[in-house]
A = this chain, B = another copy of it.
Amino acid sequence: MESDLATLFKALGDPTRLRIFEFLRDCDCCSMAIGDCGDVRPADGPTVGEVCCRVTGLERINSTISHHIKELKNAGLITVERRGKNMICRINPEAIGKLAGYFN
């Protein structure tokens, strides 16, 4: 759960992670999540599995995505919370604020 700037930037510096991050951010802004590979439903955020099969151009094995999500979480960019069998992922607004402030 570090959050110094270099750590934040490093986490976003990998193309795969950046896509995941942007996907989560887009879900966040419209407060909808995309259902398990097809349908659409309102939700707190997409699950790890939804990230796996929904982030376009992302052809990565489950364990790889899980690893990247963990890294985003450790950097403090997102939060991950259990909801039944699933883990739902959300952007951490504080981190965004921190980054936004840095360039102004």
CB < 8 Å: which of B10, B11, B18 contacts A14? B10
Specify which chain B residues have a CB less than 8 angstroms from the CB of A7 in the assembled complex: 13
Specify which chain B residues have a CB less than 8 angstroms from the CB of A13 in the assembled complex: 6-7, 9-13
- Interface residues of A, count at CB 8 A: 16
Binary per-residue interface labels of chain A (33-50) against chain B in the complex, 1 for a CB within 8 Å, 0 otherwise:
000000000000000000
Most chain B beta carbons < 10 A, residue from A7, A96, A100: A100
Q: Does A99 belong to the interface (CB within 8 Å)?
A: yes
Closest 5 CB pairs of A and B: A10-B13, A100-B103, A9-B12, A9-B13, A13-B13
Given contacts A6-B12, A10-B14, 19 further A-B contacts (CB under 8 A): A5-B12, A6-B15, A6-B18, A7-B13, A9-B9, A9-B10, A9-B13, A9-B18, A10-B10, A10-B13, A11-B13, A12-B13, A13-B13, A96-B103, A99-B103, A100-B100, A100-B103, A100-B104, A103-B103
